[in-house]
Homo-oligomer: A and B are copies of this chain.
């Protein structure tokens, strides 16, 4: 393996979308933190002290029930951020954040977030847009949990994770996926077997390779597509270093602002 280059803040889509002057103001305050696999970034009830912008890591938010069972309600990667409660007004959330794919994130301390918030500037607008996309993802998780099979949910999960990586290999055991989807490990095994038999994925001992992404999408339920489409509307993919000077003018459908 070659030595890995240090991640750049621009790898995070939200940071990359900021205007140069905003970047110049904020980037000196960003702190790069490594996020090792399976590490716990946030535990229910604690106070958040930073907003995290992942560059090459994936983090899952899950709710842990009183009996210990869990369900993932959200996946965050370089398209978004962690710690919305810092600017939404709360102190924390009743959920847990766990690193699902190792990597890094840049973090911004609470006072800086507050300062940017009070400027009422571009970062705030971007963060709010992202938050709306986040709500869509959570809502669709609710729908999916109600109506779709484990097979379909596994496809959705793999796609959500794939979208946040630059390669096609996922490091997660079936047991872990079971915890995320809130189903039994054996259920995941059955679903994964079917996918492997169809040549869509291959896997062994916690390493999953996605071989046929298109097939994965057709096998998934509509939930994946709904979230993706909505997210692209709210936060159109920004080629890195492209600068958006006015978030309200992001080329969605052309409509009056606010």
Contacts and interface: CB of A to CB of B under 8 A. Distances in A.
A93 B136 contact: yes
A209 interface: no
Given A138-B138, A146-B71, A132 B258 contact: no
Contacts of A134: 135
A84 interface: yes
Nearest to A120: B120
A248 B88 CA distance: 10
Contacts of A146: 71, 145, 181-183
A131 interface: yes
A140 B91 contact: no
Given A65-B143, A93-B230, 10 more contacts: A63-B139, A66-B222, A88-B128, A89-B234, A89-B247, A93-B135, A94-B136, A134-B135, A138-B139, A146-B183
Interface string A86-104: 1111110111000000000
Interface string A225-252: 0100010011000000000000110001
A69 interface: yes
Contacts of A120: 118, 120
A214 to B, nearest CB: 19
A147 interface: yes
Contacts of A91: 233, 252-253, 255
A258 B233 CA distance: 28
A47 interface: yes
B129 A89 contact: yes
Contact of A128 (B66, B87, B94): B87
Interface residues of A, number: 59
Interface stretch (A6-14, A109-117, A165-173): A109-117
A63 B140 CA distance: 8
11 contacts: A63-B140, A73-B143, A89-B125, A89-B132, A89-B247, A95-B139, A120-B120, A131-B135, A146-B181, A146-B182, A147-B182
A39 interface: no
A142 interface: yes
Contact of A94 (B87, B94, B111, B226): B226
Contacts of A90: 129, 132, 230, 233-234, 252
A239 to B, nearest CB: 21
Contact of A222 (B65, B143, B233): B65
- Among A74, A87, A134, A138, chain B packs the most CB atoms within 10 A around the CB of A138
